[in-house]
Amino acid sequence: MDISHLFSSTTKYKLLRTLSTRSSPIHLRALVDVTAVPLRSAQLAIHSFTEQKLLSLSKESNRVYIKLNDKNPYAIVLQNFFQNDMKRQLRERSQKYTHQGSLLTRIHELRMLSWQKNANK
């Protein structure tokens, strides 16, 4: 199932990423804070996704809570996509830290050799 049409903007991507990794509804302003997207852009994207029945909205007094609509066929695809994306990013970070760790070990070894040479003089 192709989901690329859902990512027509950075705003939509950020909103879907955040909503796909949450199990509980989130308030619109909190979603804007978490994703760092402009409020009006978020409102327009959410309206578009709601029309596609990708999101479900619930109102509590003057607050609108947003959640990924689990009944939409794209919901599971999005959740899997972002879950795999997060795992890939964690693997990349882990490899980066492993590489940095080996560099630090090598630097320590060179310092020890330098120290030993200076101590033998």
Supply the pTM of this predicted model.
0.67
Report the SS3 class of residue 54. coil
* Digit-coded pLDDT (tens) for 59-118: 988 888 999 998 998 888 888 888 887 777 777 777 766 666 677 777 777 777 777 767
Residue 121, pLDDT score? 62
Residue 2, pLDDT score? 60
Fill in the DSSP letter of residue 90. Answer: H
Residue 27, pLDDT score? 93
Residue 41, pLDDT score? 94
Residue 1, pLDDT score? 52
Residue 97, pLDDT score? 66
* Digit-coded pLDDT (tens) for 35-71: 999 999 999 999 999 998 999 999 988 888 999 998 9
Q: What angle do CA 108, 112, 118 make, to 5 degrees?
A: 145
- Residue 55 phi/psi, 5-degree rounding, is -120, 155
Domain spanning 4-88, CATH class: mainly alpha
